[in-house]
Amino acid sequence: MDTFKASTHRHSSLRESATKIFWLLAGLCVSAGLILINQRFLKITTIICQSDNSPCPEAIQNLAENYQGRSLLLLRQRQLAREIIATGLADQAKISAKLPGQLVITLTPPTTNFYLKSVFGIPPPSLSFEDTTVSGQVIAPSVELARFVAASNGKTFRLLESGVLDQSEHETTTYLIASEIPKSDYLLTAFSWLKAIAGAKLAPETIYLLPRMLVVKVTDQPDYLFSFASDPSPTLLALQRLLMAVTISELSVIDFRYSNPILK
């Protein structure tokens, strides 16, 4: 009788041990399977970032790359979107995931921005109109500047309201000419001028941004010259009043860099 009880107890212990081993092995198999699935399907290996049919700004690309190698299951989409918008390089950010391992970011660029073709590292050309006093001999600055930029290689940037330059491939007829990359204060002022020009509906053919002034070329009009130190809105208002008061058919330049405009 005692022998039967002992045998039954041993069988019960063996079953319990076998059950524990089974569940342990099952757990290990499930864990291994989850790790395999995560590595093959859920681990972020590819980041696709687009903004207005162009690659995302470099700063956002660098931000997104911090998520490389993380699991899509642990991705906090709202937090990433907030981080992107905080850069000022996008108004909205849509974050989504695709298997296997793709993090997809679609940006809505800032509502107001301007595109510039930059010519850096070369001193701006001297303009002959500065030394000309006879109206009939004046060469419009836009003519000389057009020759200058045609002979120079440049890159295109998007100028944001925050004074940030973001490289782009967008076509533009606005040129930024400087011997070095401008500082933020200059870019903020340039943005204010471009915004004011757009609001004044001058419909410029070409705009040239120089270190201390900008040259605005409008079809069948003289070149308009403005100082960066001037307030854009009242200066453009004064230009519009002047255009209504004078005949401009023989003029090459209207220079608003001084308290009294100079006509040549």
Q: Which of 83, 79, 89, 78 is closest to 55 using CA atoms?
A: 89
First-to-last alpha carbon distance for the chain, in angstroms, is 126
Specify the fold of 113-263.
Rossmann fold (3.40.50)
Cα–Cα dist 97/42, whole Å: 9
Please report where in the chains the tokens 């009043």 appear, as a residue: 241
- The mean pLDDT of 112-139, rounded to a whole number, is 76
Percent of the chain with pLDDT over 90: 23
Percent of the chain with pLDDT over 70: 81
Give me the helices (H) in the chain, please. 2-37, 58-65, 77-86, 141-150, 184-200, 232-245
| 19 or 156, greater pLDDT | 156
Indicate left, alpha or beta for 220 from its phi (over 0: left) and psi (-120 to 50: alpha).
Answer: left
CA 19 to chain centre: 61
Residue 37 — pLDDT band, cuts 50, 70, 90? Answer: very low
User: Are 59 and 87 spatial neighbours (Cβ–Cβ below 8 Å)?
Assistant: yes
Q: Count Cβ atoms below 10 Å from residue 40 Cβ, excluding itself.
A: 12
212 by Cβ neighbours in 10 Å (0-12 / 13-18 / 19+) ranks as exposed
Q: Count Cβ atoms below 10 Å from residue 95 Cβ, excluding itself.
A: 18
Residue 30 — pLDDT band, cuts 50, 70, 90? Answer: low
What per-residue confidence (pLDDT) applies to 261?
A: 86
Give the containing element (helix H, strand E) for 262.
strand 262-263
Task: Share the mean pLDDT of the chain.
Answer: 81
Q: Which residues contact 229 (CB under 8 A, 6 or more apart)?
A: 212
Cα–Cα dist 52/55, whole Å: 8
> What is the DSSP secondary structure assignment for residue 135, as one 8-state letter?
G
Residue 213 — pLDDT band, cuts 50, 70, 90? Answer: very high
CATH entry, 46-108, from 3.40.120, 3.10.20, 1.10.10, 3.30.420: 3.10.20
| 113 or 216, greater pLDDT | 216
- pTM for the structure as a whole: 0.66
What per-residue confidence (pLDDT) applies to 248?
A: 66
pLDDT, tens digit, 9 for 90 and up, residues 54-113: 788 888 888 888 888 888 777 888 888 888 888 877 888 898 888 777 888 998 887 778
User: Are 57 and 166 spatial neighbours (Cβ–Cβ below 8 Å)?
Assistant: yes
| 192 or 97, greater pLDDT | 192
pLDDT above 70 for 171: yes
Q: Residue 204 to residues 32, 79, 114, 218: CA-CA distances in angstroms?
A: 65, 41, 13, 4
